[in-house]
């Protein structure tokens, strides 16, 4: 306790230098809090968009579909999807279940033909799977549009298609024959991904089944009440699917979201670089402060050594001063960072322009992430202590005679 009290008084000796050092620490900690909260918000938004527009939390297939379904889709379709859905809906963590059947083909308005990825859906079960879609014109599919369709914004531009136009889909049936179905365009939507918006078409499931001449479905998609409950459902799923007496397999969104994982890796690497830069700034700030303190207090150190104070105690005193600088700067940095985060959020967030490959920007907010707060605080303390070791060691090695003669 005596060492802490003495160290605290020592760091207040030169208030200007201490203020500058604390300012560097506070700025670094606040930067980590803000940037970490921004990145976490970006991850959550991209994750939920990926889940609720394309993948769902879990996809269930006929066994063998993942490895061989592309080459021979007719052999790996689910013929009794209702049996699977009824069992899944018994799980309290499951919010919504729907079935899908997709095909690749050509879409035409009679004048122009484009490639398309068509997905057959059940409109009344689709609400949670379209949460991140924005209908720019017209409406989403519902029970009143049994022969309607929704296409992506970029695809609509390429076809110069308007609401009320009739479009044709040309594809091969499961037996290999050519088939054509037409539909009325009832909606033009935007998901945010330019690549996806340039090919996606949504039709009622029955229309896609007629195009492929089948009553089966390709997959069953599951949305959970909370993404954090994924591990709970995955642990229950083998037993639940076993009750169907069907050979099934499944994948979670984590196994399919390649783009999401690449973004996480990129942002994670960027965040790590910034943390290293901040740690380096704090390191040199405290090294400079402690080195100057040793220089200014050389005669004092010599006096302490002359009255019998061990070198180890001198070293402890300076390391404690560095530790206190880290603790004080860390606490103040967290307070400043949290206040800035609340200020940004209450002012309406940060308007982010469209990233590469996306057709729309988004409004970003700063999340207060406990793990980021803890990391920033501990990083500051560790760096502060480490940066104090060399000046403290140097102070403990000063010769008594030289120190007392120092002017």
Q: Of 246, 276, 298, which closes a domain?
A: 246
Tell whether 135 and 238 lie within a shared domain: yes
pLDDT value at residue 370 = 92
Residue 54 belongs to a domain: no
Tell whether 119 and 235 lie within a shared domain: yes
Q: Of 217, 246, 275, which closes a domain?
A: 246
Tell whether 181 and 265 lie within a shared domain: no
Tell whether 75 and 34 lie within a shared domain: no
Tell whether 33 and 135 lie within a shared domain: no
Tell whether 225 and 97 lie within a shared domain: yes
Using CA atoms, how far residue 259 sits from 115, 134, 340, in Å, is: 22, 21, 31
Mean pLDDT of 12-26: 81
* pLDDT-derived band at 204, boundaries 50, 70, 90: very high
Mean pLDDT of 143-160: 90
Q: Of 214, 246, 278, which closes a domain?
A: 246
Q: Is 126 left (phi over 0), alpha (psi -120 to 50) or beta?
A: alpha
Residue 193 belongs to a domain: yes
Q: What is the pLDDT of residues 356-384, one digit of tens each?
A: 555 566 778 899 999 989 988 998 888 88
Residue 254 belongs to a domain: no
Structural domain for 130, as ranges: 64-246
Residue 400 belongs to a domain: yes
Residue 148 belongs to a domain: yes
Residue 224 belongs to a domain: yes
Residue 252 belongs to a domain: no
Tell whether 299 and 198 lie within a shared domain: no
Per-residue pLDDT at 339 exceeds 90: yes
Q: What is the pLDDT of residues 83-125, one digit of tens each?
A: 888 888 888 998 888 889 988 899 998 889 999 999 998 888 8
Tell whether 269 and 324 lie within a shared domain: yes
| Calpha distance 366→396 (Å, rounded) | 45
Q: What is the pLDDT of residues 257-316, one digit of tens each?
A: 888 888 888 888 888 888 888 878 877 777 777 777 666 666 766 776 677 767 777 778
Element (H, E) at 311: helix 311-346
Torsion angle (degrees, nearest 10) of CA 275, 278, 279, 283: 170
- How many domains does the chain contain in total? 2
Range list of β-strands (E), 200-290 = 200-204, 219-224, 248-252
Tell whether 274 and 240 lie within a shared domain: no
Q: In the beta sheet, which residues pair with residue 101?
A: 120
Residue 253 belongs to a domain: no
Q: Is 193 left (phi over 0), alpha (psi -120 to 50) or beta?
A: beta
Tell whether 123 and 189 lie within a shared domain: yes
Overall pTM > 0.85: no
* Nearest to 396, CA basis, from 283, 307, 312, 272: 312
Tell whether 216 and 97 lie within a shared domain: yes
Tell whether 172 and 24 lie within a shared domain: no
Task: Please say whether the beta carbons of 357 and 259 come within 8 A.
Answer: no
């Amino acid at each position: 306790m005596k060492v802490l009290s003495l160290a605290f008084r020592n760091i207040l000796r030169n208030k200007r230098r201490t203020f500058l050092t604390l300012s560097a620490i506070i700025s670094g900690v606040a930067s980590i809090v803000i940037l970490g909260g921004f990145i976490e918000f970006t991850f959550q938004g991209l994750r939920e968009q990926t889940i609720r527009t394309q993948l769902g939390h879990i996809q269930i297939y006929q066994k063998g579909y993942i490895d061989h379904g592309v080459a021979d889709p007719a052999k790996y379709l689910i013929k009794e999807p209702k049996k699977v859905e009824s069992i899944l809906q018994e799980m309290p963590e499951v919010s919504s279940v729907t079935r899908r059947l997709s095909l690749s083909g050509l879409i035409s308005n009679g004048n122009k033909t484009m490639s398309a990825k068509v997905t057959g859906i059940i409109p009344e079960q689709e609400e949670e799977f379209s949460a991140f879609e924005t209908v720019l014109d017209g409406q989403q599919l519902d029970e009143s549009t049994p022969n309607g369709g929704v296409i992506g914004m970029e695809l609509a531009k390429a076809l110069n298609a308007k609401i009320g136009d009739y479009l044709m889909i040309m594809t091969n049936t499961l037996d290999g024959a050519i088939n054509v179905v037409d539909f009325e365009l009832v909606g033009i939507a935007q998901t945010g991904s330019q690549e996806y918006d340039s090919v996606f078409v949504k039709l009622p499931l029955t229309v896609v089944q007629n195009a492929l001449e089948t009553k089966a479905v390709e997959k069953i998609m599951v949305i959970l009440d909370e993404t954090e409950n994924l591990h709970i459902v995955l642990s229950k799923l083998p037993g639940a699917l076993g009750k169907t007496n069907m050979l099934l397999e499944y994948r979670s969104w984590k196994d399919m979201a390649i783009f999401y994982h690449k973004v996480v890796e990129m942002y994670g690497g960027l965040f790590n670089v910034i943390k290293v830069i901040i740690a380096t700034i704090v390191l040199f700030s405290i090294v400079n402060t402690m080195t100057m303190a040793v220089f200014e207090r050389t005669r004092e150190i010599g006096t302490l050594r002359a009255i019998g104070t061990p070198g180890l105690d001198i070293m402890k005193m300076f390391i404690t001063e560095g530790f206190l600088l880290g603790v004080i700067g860390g606490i103040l940095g967290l307070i400043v960072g949290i206040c800035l985060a609340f200020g940004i959020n209450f002012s309406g967030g940060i308007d982010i322009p469209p990233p590469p490959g996306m057709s729309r920007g988004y409004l970003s907010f700063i999340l207060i992430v406990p793990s980021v707060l803890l990391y920033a605080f501990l990083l500051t303390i560790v760096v502060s202590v480490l940066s104090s070791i060399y000046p403290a060691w140097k102070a403990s090695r000063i010769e008594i005679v030289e120190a007392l003669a120092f002017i």
